Amino acid sequence: MHRLRSPSASISYDRYGEGPPLVLVHGSFSNHTSNWEFVKPLLEDRFTVYAVARRGRGETDATNGHGVADEGADVATVLAALGEPAFLLGHSYGGQVALAAAARAPERVKKLVLYEPPWPTALDANVVQRLDAFARAGDWDSLATTFFRDLLAVPAAELDGLRSSPLWPPIVADAKASFGDVRALLRYEFVAERFRPITCPVLLQIGTESPRHLYVTDALAGVFSDVRIEELPGQAHEGMTTAPEMYAAAITRFLLG
C-alpha cells in the first residue's frame, strides 16, 4: 500500500488501473478492498483508482475520538498528493467523508459522486445503546447484525442470506472500526448549506429499495448548483456489490460522459 501523513494520522491507499484519477472512499462494515471488490475490474480499465483505507483499515492508523472532518482531511491529503484534480466517490459514511474532503479542497475535485451518505439523526439512540453494549463485550457479530437489521432496515430474509455468505466474515472483521464511524457520526453536525461552495458536477445516487429518509441525498440536492440524482433500480445500500455492472456503468457515464 501507499502511505501519506495527514494532519492527524498516517493514512494508506491502494493504487491500480490506468486513466484519469478516481479516489474511492469506502463506507462502514467494509474497507478499501471489500467495498469495491466486484467493481474493481470494471473501474481499473477506465480509471487510475486510489482506494483510500479509512481509519483502522489497511495500514491507516486506528485512532480514537476522530471525527468526519478528520477523515475528510485524510482524503484531502490524498487528493493533494495526486498533482491534478481527480474524481471523488464516497459510499455511505464514506460519502460524508468525501463530502468533507470536497469542501476542504474543492479545487482538487473534478466531479463528485455520493452514494447514500447517512443523516447523523438516523442513528436511533436505543439501537446505538445496544451497539455500545455489544462493543464493550467484543460481540462484533451481534453488533453487525443489529446495525444491518435495526439501522439499515435490511429485510430479515436478505440479512439471513448475507450472514450465511462469504461476505459476512469481512463485515464482522470491520465491526470494531465501524463502531468508530458510528461514534464519529453521532458527534457530527450535518448542515447541507455548508456545502453550497462546492461547484463541481455532483451525482447523488440512491437505491430504489433504500429507505430514502435515512440519507441526506435530497437535502444536498437543494444546495449544489450542478447536481443530478440517479436512482439505481432494484438496489438498496450496496449497489456496487449487488449490481456491479450497473453500478460501474452509472458512474462511468457520469464521470467520463
The tens place of each residue's pLDDT in the chain, 257 residues long, gives: 999 999 999 999 999 999 999 999 999 999 999 999 999 999 999 999 999 999 999 999 999 999 999 999 999 999 999 999 999 999 999 999 999 999 999 999 999 999 999 999 989 999 999 999 999 999 999 999 999 999 888 888 889 999 999 999 999 999 999 999 999 999 999 999 999 999 999 999 999 999 999 999 999 999 999 999 999 999 999 999 999 999 999 999 999 99
What are the backbone angles phi and psi of residue 217, rounded to the nearest 5°? -50, -55
Residue 133 belongs to a domain: no
Residue 175 belongs to a domain: no
Write the CB contacts of 154 (distance below 8 Å, at least 6 apart in sequence).
148, 162, 236
**Which cell goes with 204?**
447523488
Residue 198 belongs to a domain: yes
Residue 18 belongs to a domain: yes
Residue 154 belongs to a domain: no
- 245, with CB counted inside 10 A (0-12, 13-18, 19+), is exposed
| CA distance to 57, 106, 224, per residue, from 214 (Å) | 25, 26, 19
Residue 127 belongs to a domain: no
Residue 95 belongs to a domain: yes
* Closest C-alpha to 114, from 209, 206, 250, 231: 206
Which residue segment(s) compose the domain that 203 sits in? 2-121+189-256
Residue 168 belongs to a domain: no
Q: What is the CATH number of the domain that holds 75?
A: 3.40.50.1820
**Which cell goes with 97?**
467523508
Number of structural domains the chain divides into: 1
Beta bridge partners of 206: 231
